[in-house]
Structure 1
Amino acid sequence: MADTDWSEDVKKYVPDADDNAIAGIVRHCGIALQSRDASLVSFTDKSELERVREKFLKKKLGLSMSDAELDGAIATIGDKLKDVRNKNRVTVYYLLADHFGKLSDFA
C-alpha cells in the first residue's frame, strides 16, 4: 500500500484538494495504511463506522455533535462513494474533514 497515491484518489472527488491536508491525514492514519484491509473503510461494517465516528470525528476532529448527526455525515460520504468498491480511508477522512470544515487541522 506504500505506493498508493492517496492524493490522486482524493482528487477524484475534490479536484482542488489541499495536498498538505492529504499529507496530514496520511500521517494521522500512519501504520494503518500499510495494511490493505485497514487502509479501506467498509460502510457495511457497523463497528467500522462507529470507529470512524468515535476515533476520527470525535477524538481527532474534536466534534461534539450528536451521534446521529455524525453518522449522517458518514452516510453522506458513503453515498458519495457508493459506486467505488474500495473506499480509501484517506479519501473518506479527507471528505469528512472537508464536510466539517476541519481540513486546517491537518494542513
Structure 2
Amino acid sequence: MGKRDELIAKYADDLKNKCKVTPDMALLTKVTIGCGPSIYDNDAQTVAASDKDELERIKNNFLVKKLGLKDGPELMAGINAAIETYGKSERNKFRAVFYYLLVTHFKKASVYK
C-alpha cells in the first residue's frame, strides 16, 4: 500500500469515527488527490480551524475557485458546519477530510466526477 493509500485510509477512519460519516471512498480519493502534495506536508495537511485567515483562504481558494460557489455568508456557515461535524475539540483536522465535508455539505461532488 502506497503512502497516499495509507493517508486515504486514515482520512476514512476520521470520517467514520470522528465525524460519524460513512465516506464515499471514490469521492474521498478524488478529493485527496485534489489536495495535491499538501497531504504530505505536516503543516499543510491540517486545517487551522481557529485561524480566521486560513478559513478565508479555504473559502476563497477552495469553495469559490475550486467548487465554483458564489461568495456569501452561506460559505462561512458551511465551513462552520464542517468544523462542528469534525469536532471543535479535534486539534488535527485533516485538510482532505475537511474538504470532503465541504464538498458533501455543498453537494458539489460533481466537481470531482
2:98 pairs with 1:92: yes
Amino acid at match of 1:94: Y
Which residue does 2:49 correspond to in 1? 43
Size of the alignment, in residue pairs?
Answer: 105
Contact 1:32 1:39 in 2 (8 A): yes
Q: After superposition, give the CA deviation of every residue in 1:18-75 in whole Å (9 maximum; x if it has no partner).
A: 1010010111101001111101001111111011101110111110141x22111111
2:29 maps to which residue?
Answer: 23
Distance 1:9 1:104 in 2: 23
Structure 1: 5+ residue stretches without partners: none
Structure of higher RCO (CA pairs closer than 8 Å, 6+ residues apart):
1
After superposition, the CA RMSD in angstroms is: 1.6
**Which residue of structure 2 aligns with residue 54 of structure 1?**
60
Per the normalisation by structure 2, the TM-score is: 0.83
Q: Which runs of 5+ in 2 are unaligned?
A: none
With the length of structure 1 as denominator, give the TM-score of the two structures.
Answer: 0.87
Pairing 1:104–2:110 present: yes
Q: Distance in 2 between matches of 1:79 and 1:9?
A: 14
Runs (4 or more) in structure 1 with deviation over 6 Å come to: none
Matched residue of 2:46: which SS? coil
1:7 aligns with 2:40: no
Is the 2:63–2:75 Cα contact (8 Å) retained in structure 1? Answer: yes
Aligned amino acid, residue 71 of structure 1: M
Counterparts of 2:84 and 2:105, CA distance in 1:
13
Structure 2 residue corresponding to 1:82, chosen from 88, 99, 109: 88
